[in-house]
Amino acid sequence: MSGLHKVSSNPHVRARATTASIMGTVLIALLPAAAFGVYNFGPRAALLILISVASAVLTEYLFERLCKKKVTVGDLSAAVTGLLLALNLPVSAPWWIPILGSFFAIFVVKLLFGGLGQNFVNPALAGRCFLLISFPAIMTDFNCDAYAGATPLAAIKAGESVNVMDMILGRTAGTIGETSMIAIVLGACILILAGIIDLNVPGSYIVSFTVFAALFAALTGRTVNGPYLSAQLAGGGLMLGAFFMATDYVTRPITKKGQYVYGIFLGFMTAVFRIFGASAEGVSYAILLGNLLVPLIEKYTMPKCFGKGGERS
Amino acid sequence: MNKKESAGERLLNGIIVENPTFVLTLGMCPTLAVTTSAVNGLGMGLTTMAVLALSNLIISLLRNIIPDKVRIPAFIVIIASFVTIMQLLLEGFLPSLYESLGIYIPLIVVNCIILGRAEAYASKRPALLSLFDGIGMGLGFSLALTCIGAVRELLGAGEIFGVRIMPQSFVPISIFVMAPGAFFVLAALTAGMNAVKKAGEKRGRDMSRIRTGCDLDCSHCGQSAGCTKPEKEG
């Protein structure tokens, strides 16, 4: 009993998780998608992934050395950013694309705002959108040795039929890491089982996307059926975005209610971009837009302290 | 302003000490919108400088006649007249620049540098000093806009003043000639200016005269006369 009377200041309950262990798990969870990308698109995909991760880590290391700050590359967050960015690139991208994207993601979006925890949008996505706006021709050129022609989402948008089984397995054109729904969901299961993420954001995102996509597709006079919706779900960056980017600790709301609001908003915006937008894909912009709304969402969903709530008569 | 004011001091003040773009961060609308190339930045800067110098001169000459209560409308009328003159001159003699600056030429009327200098400086000082204050501020503005335009043109098109600088293999980073690029370049150049100031302080030089974007107080604000906010926020 006497052991229980030890007096100490808080925190009294500690978890063993560190930033490095969480980010390490995320890296492991991204491996299936990355490995499938290399299998699907060939060794060039591996090269792009390597360049992207290396330049992200190097940018952070050099910045912190030059500014005489504590070097934080050991927390692996830069490696995760670099890997996520690479998974969002087409395999035909030239070698300097991942370098520029990683530099923008790490230096401008993350380090200039104060480092990990201070970035107001997801660095990997901001890096991708920077590249997408700057080099639209390179970033949407999905022709490679293995596949020629449009991505499944572009084909659906053009009214052509697609092979849903191929999309779920990942045997389609697209960015390096987005094509295989199975590999991504496998990685997501690792994250969920390890307790790194929960289903609040991805669940509400995917459900709300399905509802709004069906609604908007019906409004625009398409036939909404099982294959159409499963193709929308398996195609593009939805799965990668929902499980690995929308769940980013730094840029999602911290309140549970807020996470549902955030997920529903992401689903709504993705459906709007995909069905009414000029381009076939809209996950990146939807999540960036959602990131910007997070402070507002948190402000209105913050739970009240015990004793502070309720009406007084 | 306790130190002695002279024509030369006014020029230096406008170009460096109180550079309207990098130090006062005034006139952001044309700064961000038209600096897609060095030529556009320079054209906008010089047009604004002409309006600024002439309106400062006229407002300073009329400062004892204009009634205090209607001074802002009076300033606007004077500024708008000069802007109209400049607009017609540009349309007549530099039609290509007129085309590329577009709506931003008439918008010089509401550029807050011009109204700010009229209110804060020209309406209280003699004519010659006001003229040089306008020229100095205008030069500072032109310099800043040309720099921003040059960097954006270099990165976004590989050229400066239309001359190819980058090797042919350089792929233009087109985001720099779009709106986001303006913010990136403005922020980077302002940070560079602050870094120069800091480095100077380290070497023991007196840099206190060169202010940075965020440490201005009410005395530099054109609105401070009619502003009820206490000078120091507690």
Task: Render pLDDT for A119-160 as a digit per residue (tens, 0 to 9).
Answer: 989 999 999 999 999 998 888 888 877 777 778 888 888 777
Enumerate chain A positions whose Cβ falls within 8 A of a Cβ in B: 94, 100, 108, 130, 133-135, 138
Closest Cα in chain B, distance from residue A10 (Å): 34
Is the predicted ipTM greater than 0.90, yes or no? Answer: no
Q: Please give the Cα distance from A95 to A101 (Å, whole number).
A: 11
pLDDT at position B233 is: 39
List, for residues B23-42, the tens digit of each pLDDT value: 888 888 889 999 999 999 99
| Residues in a beta bridge with B66 | none
Confidence at residue A2, expressed as pLDDT on a 0 to 100 scale: 59
Domains and CATH numbers, chain A: 20-300 (1.10.3430)
Q: Is B169 helix (H, G, I), strand (E, B) or coil?
A: coil
**Per 3-state DSSP, what percentage of chain A is helix, strand, and coil (rounded to 5)?**
65, 0, 35
Chain B residues with beta carbon closer than 8 angstroms to that of A130: 175
pLDDT digits (tens, 9 = 90+) for B86-95: 999 999 999 9
**What are the residue boundaries of the structural domains of chain B, listed by start?**
7-162+173-220
Mean pLDDT throughout A209-216?
93
Contact A133 B171 (CB under 8 A): no
Name the one residue in this structure whose structure tokens are 């009076």. Answer: B74
Contact B113, B18 (CB under 8 A): no
As a whole number, mean pLDDT of residues A226-233 equals: 86
Confidence of residue A74 (pLDDT cuts 50, 70, 90): confident
Task: Decide if B175 and A138 are in contact by the 8 Å CB cutoff.
Answer: no
- Which residue of chain A comes nearest to B180, CA vs CA? A130
In chain A, beta strands by DSSP E:
none
Q: What is the pLDDT of residues A261-271, one digit of tens each?
A: 999 999 999 99
Average pLDDT, chain A: 89
Spatial CA neighbour of A252 closest among A211, A291, A209? A291
Calculate mean pLDDT across residues B170-197: 89
Count Cβ atoms below 10 Å from residue A225 Cβ, excluding itself.
Answer: 10
Contact B173 A108 (CB under 8 A): no
Please check whether residue A56 is in contact with residue A106, taking contact to mean a CB–CB distance below 8 angstroms: yes
Q: Which residue of B has its CA nearest to A130?
A: B175
Residue B113 to residue B122: CA distance in whole angstroms: 12
Question: Could you tell me if B122 and B59 are in contact, meaning their C-beta atoms sit under 8 angstroms apart?
Answer: yes
| pLDDT tens-digit map of B135-177 | 999 999 999 999 999 999 999 988 888 888 888 888 889 899 8
Measured between alpha carbons, how far is A174 from A42 in angstroms, rounded to an integer? 13
